[in-house]
Every structure is written in C-alpha cells, then in structure tokens.
Amino acid sequence: MSFISIPNDKIKSIYEKILRCRILEESLLKAYRDGYVPGTLHLGIGHEGCVVGVIEALERGDLVIGTHRSHCHALSMGMTPEEIISEVLGKKTGCCGGKAGTLHLSKPSINYLYSSSIVGSGIPIGVGVAYALKYLKRDNIVVVFVGDGAVNTGAFHEGLNLASIYDVPLLVVIENNWYAISVPIRKATRIEKLSLRANSYGIKGVTIDGMDPLEVYVNVKPLVDYVRREKEPVLVECIVYRFLGHHAGDVTQEYRSKEEVELWRKRDPLLLIEEEILKRNIMSREEMEVLKANVRDEMERALDYALKAPYPEVEDMFKNVW
C-alpha cells in the first residue's frame, strides 16, 4: 500500500512513539532482570506498530482501554515514562501510587482509562463507556485492545453483541500475536481470520498487517472516522508477533521455534518504518541515531527516577481503593 497520503510529520511522530515504546520496555526488562520488579512483567515488544498506528489515528477526547500488555498504550496516550516505570516497580510516584503495578496502569485524565489483566474484560466495560459517550452526545469513541486469547471468552461475545445492539462508538482491536500464553491460535479456533467474528454481530470486521505501523494507520484512520460518524462498532484484527515470551520469565518458549521468532523479527515494526523514513528522506540514519540516543537518555533518567522514588506508606494502603 502506498503511504503517500501520510504527511511526513505524522510518519515521524509514529516513528518517535514506536522508538520510545521499544526503549521503555527494554528499560523495564533490565529492571526486571536486575530484580527491581515485584512479580512478573508482560512486554509487548513487536506489537508497537499496531498500538501506535491505532492511537495515532485517534482524536482528542477519544478513550483507550488496554490489556495486561499495555505499557506502550499508556505511553502513547501521554503517560510519562516516570509514571509507568514507577508503577511497575511499585513506587509511590507511579500512576496509581504503586498499587496497580504493570497489569493495571490507569490515568483517566489523559483518556487512558485502564489496563486489565482479566482477558476480554475491557470489551463490556468499553461498551458501557461508549454508550455513555453516545448518551451525552459527545463526538468521541472508545478503543478497546484485546489479545487473540480474548476472542473465545464470554466477555468478547456478550460485549460485541451489546455493542452492535446499542450501536455504540466502539473500536475493538485484536492484537493477534498467534499465542494465548502458549496455545497457538490454530488450536483455539478454526477460522482463518479472527475479524470474521464480526459477522455474527452484523458489524464491520477487518484484518490488517499489524507489524507495519503505516499500514495500520492508513487502514484504521477511516475506520475510526466511520465509528465516530455512524456511532457503530467495528472489529479490527492486527496481525502482530511478540518477540519475547508471554512474560519476562518465559525464557525457553518451548511452544514455538527460534526460527519462527527470527523470521518475524525481519518484520520488526521499527525497521519497517525506518525503511520508509529513509526512502522518503524524512530523516537520515545519523539523525535517527541521535534520536535513539536521546530516547535512551530519557528512559535511563526515568528508570533512575523510579529506582530512587519511595514506596507507598502503610497508611496509604486503602486510599483510592474501592
């Protein structure tokens, strides 16, 4: 697909956001391996093209709900690296005061409602939020990200059915990375495209290449406009691939081959957008290296900030807890 219609400044913005997402998560992985992360860590390295491409297609006031793998979503919506890393480390300076951790990032003030570790649960909640937007006559939409493992849950079916019945402005994005923890998608469903599930609810369903961020943007932007204009739900399947294990401790990954991972790494969303940037002379390689160095410095400062930040006080335990 031709990306001529995408302005150069938009391509550069998408690139910078993907770069920040990648280096943020590499910093979180380092913190995990150094023993600073309580519990485990679910990273989305490889998913950035889908996430950033979708979020860049949104407008001011649109709302987002993420999953257990949503550091990139929160960062792209405007949460600071300090807030994210602090929260993952359980520090008081985190977006939720260190009480939510990596799985439940939340900052409604920037329209990032929350991340949820309950598979598929964001859809029925997103339906409720979208219905509220419609009731209040607000010209905004709700985007709910889910994984491929969510498509066989009751929440997925009930949520999309309600969304279609009530005609709410909801965009559901499936980040299909082929494995629900370790279960291959081919063992979980017989349909070739998960977007075909949309047919059951009488709504639009589209499958796109989620590894190419510009492909995501040019395909999702008109769908976002459609949802906003028609106040109808749409289901989008982004074909992506996580380069690391299901969680940071999933090192052996016996459910997939190294050859498969390396094959997908050749379609790294960061590499694909860099190729387009060089082709269009938007930036030189030298300028890219300077940007990468600046982003690494930013994330190193954020990690240092989080490491030095205090843990929550005991008396804060039940504050802002419902």
Per-residue model confidence (pLDDT) at position 165: 97
Average confidence (pLDDT) over 190-209: 97
Query: Does residue 137 have a pLDDT over 80?
Result: yes
Per-residue pLDDT of 139-181, as tens digits, reads 999 999 999 999 999 999 999 999 999 999 999 999 999 999 9
Query: Does residue 135 have a pLDDT over 80?
Result: yes
Evaluate whether 222 touches 206 at the Cβ level (below 8 Å): no
Average confidence (pLDDT) over 93-109: 96
Residue 168's Cβ-count burial label (10 Å; 0-12, 13-18, 19+) is buried
Sorted by where each begins, the domain ranges of the chain are: 8-309
Residues 256, 10: Cα–Cα separation, whole Å: 36
Per-residue model confidence (pLDDT) at position 1: 45
pLDDT over 70 percentage in the chain: 99
Mean pLDDT rounded to a whole number for the chain: 96
Per-residue model confidence (pLDDT) at position 252: 94
Average confidence (pLDDT) over 128-134: 98
Strand 63-66 relative to strand 112-115, pairing: parallel
Ramachandran quadrant class, 39 (left: phi over 0; alpha: psi -120 to 50; beta: rest): left
Non-local (6+) Cβ contacts of 23 within 8 A are 292, 295, 296, 298, 299
Per-residue pLDDT of 226-243, as tens digits, reads 999 999 999 999 999 999
Residues 18, 134: Cα–Cα separation, whole Å: 32
Per-residue pLDDT of 46-99, as tens digits, reads 999 999 999 999 999 999 999 999 999 999 999 999 999 999 999 999 999 999
> Euclidean distance between the first and final Cα of the chain, in Å?
48
Per-residue model confidence (pLDDT) at position 126: 98
Amino acid identity at 18 = I
The CATH homologous superfamily for domain 8-309 is Thiamin diphosphate (ThDP)-binding fold, Pyr/PP domains (3.40.50.970)
CB count, 10 Å around CB of 43? 23
Per DSSP, 242 falls in state -
Non-local (6+) Cβ contacts of 293 within 8 A are none
